[in-house]
A = this chain, B = another copy of it.
């Protein structure tokens, strides 16, 4: 682990962090833990008595290693991680490491409910040979899991984790959706280098790319269903369960996307993406956040007649007006 650890520690330094290494439309720049591309969240093979079948794990990985997969997430949602004991989790990483070549990334799922338990698991995952950890959000005490406590949790873990940390938001399973604001804050932590967001909200993915720009932070889609759209809004890659089954097709889709945004189309694509990003926050304000009263107020700002809404909709409060003004100022 010696040399590798050193490299990761470099990767976490503020100096390197400050550099914008990842670019949504030019994905081929190497980095220490560069997840641009397609990764597979590996299914855990069981025997019929539900014990782990390590031989089959080796066979599967041998096949997948022949593809262009960028790497593997061992112990994601698709790995039935929650049905493994702690001992099995560590053994599984150790074994997987022996089957995964060094040019493919091994992300280890290391999230637990408690902060203390998660720190301990991260340390053990590092010792077991993982390249980085992916931390599913805590989920049980939903009313207590606000931005404040989630930022505390992830920061405390990232401070002590010997490996680079990826966040993981999967509301369909956890009922907890990491907010754009919390992710923006966490993206500034030198040891947090990306997120897998499986919520399926492409608008949110685009917003994440936008607000974390400059923080050397990789936004990864969490499902193949919206892979193309996610890449078009700036995600650098994806970790999708379907890669267990159709790894070649997903790598092909990634390559096709790269082709569509190269050459003469590149400039237009960049400009389109830039414009789309600038529109997301103003749009949210006049739709789901503040709704019609904000839209009419913005119309007034832009020289149209917005005027009052009809009751029960009420005029914006003063601070809401200021917020809308700020958002639309750049379009005047």
Is A261's CB within 8 Å of the partner chain B?
A: yes
- Are A256 and B280 within 8 A (Cβ)? no
Is A271's CB within 8 Å of the partner chain B?
A: yes
Given the known interface contacts A229-B232, A312-B115, the answer about A279 and B249 at a Cβ–Cβ threshold of 8 Å is yes
- Are A306 and B45 within 8 A (Cβ)? yes
- Are A60 and B114 within 8 A (Cβ)? no
- Are A312 and B150 within 8 A (Cβ)? yes
A114 to B226, CA, bound (A): 30
Given the known interface contacts A229-B206, A253-B276, the answer about A313 and B80 at a Cβ–Cβ threshold of 8 Å is yes
Given the known interface contacts A78-B295, A116-B311, the answer about A232 and B228 at a Cβ–Cβ threshold of 8 Å is yes
From B144, B292, B303, A292 is in contact (CB under 8 Å) with: B144
- Are A85 and B273 within 8 A (Cβ)? no
| Chain B residues with CB below 8 A from A86, complex form | 86
| Chain B residues with CB below 8 A from A83, complex form | 113-117, 310-311, 313
- Are B78 and A292 within 8 A (Cβ)? yes
Shortest CB-to-CB span from A304 to chain B, Å, is: 5
From B56, B148, B257, B290, A272 is in contact (CB under 8 Å) with: B257
- Are B309 and A46 within 8 A (Cβ)? yes
Given the known interface contacts A46-B308, A276-B228, A305-B60, the answer about A143 and B242 at a Cβ–Cβ threshold of 8 Å is no
A229 to B86, CA, bound (A): 40
| Chain B residues with CB below 8 A from A48, complex form | 307-308
Q: Identify the stretch in A28-36, A101-109, A186-194, A196-204 within 8 Å (CB) of chain B at 4 or more residues.
A: A196-204
- Are A299 and B245 within 8 A (Cβ)? yes
- Are A263 and B264 within 8 A (Cβ)? yes
Who on chain B is nearest to A52 by CB? B310
Return 10 A-B CB contacts under 8 Å, by A number.
Answer: A60-B305, A78-B292, A83-B114, A83-B117, A86-B86, A140-B174, A203-B223, A228-B233, A260-B269, A264-B264
The 7 closest A-B pairs by CB, nearest first: A83-B114, A115-B311, A82-B113, A265-B265, A229-B229, A256-B272, A153-B312
Footprint of B on A, CB under 8 Å?
43-48, 50, 53, 56, 59-60, 63, 77-78, 80, 82-86, 113-117, 120, 138-145, 148-150, 152-153, 156, 172-175, 200-203, 206, 223-230, 232-233, 240-242, 244-246, 249-250, 252-253, 256-257, 259-265, 268-269, 271-273, 275-276, 279-280, 282-284, 286-293, 295-296, 298-299, 301-314, 328, 331
